[in-house]
Structure 1
Amino acid sequence: MTSQRRGTPDFLLLFLAFSLVSFGLAMVFSASMAYSRYDSVTATMLNDPSYLAIRQAAAIALGTVAMFFCMNINYNVLKKWIGPAFIIVVILLVLVPIFGNKVNGARSWFVIAGFGLQPAEFAKLGVILYLAALISKKEEKFRSFKQGLLPALTIVAFISFLILMQPDRGSTMILVLCAAIVIIAGGANLKHIFLLGTAGAFVMLIGVSIYLIKSKLSGQNYIMDRFTSFMDPFADPLNTGYQVVQSLYAFGHGGISGAGFGQGIQKLHYLPEAHNDFIFSIIGEELGFIGSSLFILIYLAFLWRGLVIAIRSNEMFGTLAGVGIIGMIAIQALINLGGVTGSIPLTGVTLPLISYGGSSMLVTLISLGILLSISREYNKPEKETKKRA
């Protein structure tokens, strides 16, 4: 008995993905040229321009192995692993506020053998796959609030609460938006969505009002100042608007054609997290408007190709998982680009496939592996398709 032959993966998506990854690695190297790290042996600060690029290359190598592994397994087989993997993610989310390392005010990381592991990144993918499996199993029952939508919302609310405990508001927002995309694409009753959205907006308005009143009385309004500084960052260029101002300086210095690769000056300790949250600012400074525009066009082509793969899937799970994965990448990219250009408030969200970050890179490449596995099912040889029919 011979096993069914699988189709070829979508090589256009594969090519675009690795083009972006390679470009991102080059930009991480450029953005971290002034990076210094503490050497515990000599007890001194050392300038190590290749340190972050090497670590990013290691994450890419590990992520590539994971991507090819997922790509070569039928995604219906991977569906059986969602439950156990989801339980592991939940356990990590419960443990990280207690035992995790505190970075930038949030206890979101485990440090294992010198490498950081961020459970919230895996939670995004876990929620997308769990919802896709749940909705595809319930099918028409999902339109029922009690039997369909309520269980899905309960899972999303529980995971969001665990991430907020760290606290990580940016990841929570992305997770909720990704879940909303999968739920709406899964055929949820729009009346239920509208009523819940209205109620949620009302609760959020009350929460923000209470926070503003408390902040006014205590005189501590730092979070809200950071949130609103995007509207006029130059009103407080040395405090709440500092990051956005330095980012805009980078774009201004780049002009039309850019300062040239490696020739940017904002990464020289002017722009915080130049290799991470603000890597697009470095792209704008060194490659200019032309290079930035070309980069955005390639990124849009990558997202478009991923969405085409998801829509072409013959199974509901494949479509929902693909739409959720592309939605996750697109939402993060939109929030990152909007933040660094001063269009929306900064949230500390990385640019997928480009920014420095091992957990983000690993999860994104695993996600693309699943998407490529979906593409192999509709790319099956014609004879196999006819046999199944």
Structure 2
Amino acid sequence: MARRQEKEKKQKPIRYFDYSLLFLIIFLLCFGLVMLYSTSSYYGSTRFGDTAYYLKKQLFATSLGIIAMIIVSRIPYRFWMRVSGLAYLMAFGLCTAVIFIGTEAKGQARWIYIGPLSFQPSEFAKLAVIIFLATIIYKTSKQVGDFKTLVKVMAIVLPVVGVVAYNNLSTAIIILGIAVCMLFVASPKYSHFLIVGGVVLAVGVIFIALASYRAERIQIWLHPEEYEKGYQTLQGLYAIGSGGLFGKGLGESMQKLGFIPEAQNDMIFSVICEELGLFGAICLILLYLLIIWRFMVIANNAADLYGALLVVGIMAHISIQVVLNIAVVTNTIPNTGISLPFVSYGGTSILFLLSEMGLALSVSRGIKFEVT
């Protein structure tokens, strides 16, 4: 009897929690805060008389994000299946509302102010689309290989992509990329994505042609030295080039002293390259790769398809955003406003990124290993 009980005890599944992912997130957050302070101290001092102005605001948002991450990680992830439709409708409603009542900044209305706090609905839309698409694909998993089902799912996502693209093309591209990645992973027929890719490319060309400022960005990308708006790109490249192999040292950047406009936002990677050099840039990229690897481990071992799809959506979001941000900073693609996850300044962004991390950790809690 004792041996039998001991055998049953040994065969009892052990619940898993990805502490490796949690450690990597905390490490990246700390690194991001250090680099944000280094990058933004000059702007904070000259504009607000406080070198830690941006750091304090980011710390507040990060604290809220960590609380959200802890709460979400303790909620069974299948709960989000019940509210996925509501989340999608809220995202669509908020992104539509921002067109009419949003506060304008830098020529684009992307924020809604609630008292002293600002909120960017497009950041919430990324998370809502991940939850909603995971639910739709999970419920139609047997038909997802059918081209008609693929088109229907894409058609469901397009309304949010459309309203986001009105003011924020870069975020719309990320949302569309998330949707394509999730469907690509779930679908057994990859040939369908050649057709979808061709259609998306054609629509993208037409969309760019409809607005002169979007077409102008292509010219600025090709010849930044010939346009006034290419100034930021050139200064970012100067920063990257002057950093060398090991950089000038933390806090020693020259380009952040007014040469790179809003360096703490989308162009923070160029300051990282200047201060920490190629070595620091590669270490940061490796850190992102480690996080993506942990997502892959969680997705491969998830208890069900729904959990795997959630993590795939989160992995797609982080991957696409990191690649696009670095590509913009290095002038590999035309300049557009895409932040570097966990590092760039942005309260709404860090709040929802950490909420996504909580969701991934919640899926990791559902993993069970049999011990024999």
State the TM-score, normalizing by the size of structure 1: 0.87
Equivalence map 1:332-347=2 (5 Å): 332-347=321-336
Shift of 1:307: 1.9
Secondary structure of the equivalent of 1:266? coil
Aligned residue in 2 for 1:71:
73
Aligned residue in 2 for 1:21:
29
Aligned residue in 1 for 2:159:
158
Distance change in 2, residues 1:290/1:321 (3 Å): same
Aligned residue in 2 for 1:174:
174
Once the two structures are superposed, what CA deviation does each residue of 1:247-283 show, in whole Å capped at 9, x if it has no partner?
A: 0111122222211111111111110121110111111
Secondary structure of the equivalent of 2:48? strand
CA contact 2:37–2:55 (8 Å) conserved in 1: yes
Aligned residue in 2 for 1:278:
267
Once the two structures are superposed, what CA deviation does each residue of 1:337-365 show, in whole Å capped at 9, x if it has no partner?
A: 01111111111100011111011111111
* Counterpart residue identity of residue 162, structure 1: V
Shift of 1:381: 6.0
Secondary structure of the equivalent of 1:33? helix
CA contact 2:246–2:276 (8 Å) conserved in 1: yes
CA contact 1:6–1:376 (8 Å) conserved in 2: no
CA contact 1:28–1:356 (8 Å) conserved in 2: yes
Say whether residues 1:47 and 2:38 are aligned partners: no
* 1-structure distance, mates of 2:13, 2:296: 24
Aligned residue in 2 for 1:231:
222
Shift of 1:37: 8.1
**What's the C-alpha RMSD, in Å, of the aligned pairs?**
2.2
Aligned residue in 2 for 1:91:
93
Distance change in 2, residues 1:280/1:199 (3 Å): closer
CA contact 1:333–1:352 (8 Å) conserved in 2: yes
* 1-structure distance, mates of 2:244, 2:32: 21
* 2-structure distance, mates of 1:324, 1:206: 27
CA contact 1:34–1:47 (8 Å) conserved in 2: no
State the TM-score, normalizing by the size of structure 2: 0.91
Distance change in 2, residues 1:265/1:80 (3 Å): same
Shift of 1:227: 2.7
Aligned residue in 2 for 1:42:
none
Secondary structure of the equivalent of 1:116? strand
* 1-structure distance, mates of 2:326, 2:341: 11
* Counterpart residue identity of residue 94, structure 1: T
CA contact 2:165–2:172 (8 Å) conserved in 1: yes
Once the two structures are superposed, what CA deviation does each residue of 1:191-240 show, in whole Å capped at 9, x if it has no partner?
A: 443333323333444555x54xxx8xxxxx5432323323332333xx13
* 2-structure distance, mates of 1:207, 1:123: 21
**Farther off after superposition, 327-336 or 121-130:** 121-130
Equivalence map 1:225-264=2 (5 Å): 225-236=216-227, 239-264=228-253
* Counterpart residue identity of residue 197, structure 2: G
Identity of aligned pairs, percent? Answer: 35
CA contact 1:246–1:266 (8 Å) conserved in 2: yes
Distance change in 2, residues 1:233/1:310 (3 Å): same
Once the two structures are superposed, what CA deviation does each residue of 1:314-351 show, in whole Å capped at 9, x if it has no partner?
A: 31111111111011011001000011111111111000
* Counterpart residue identity of residue 194, structure 2: F
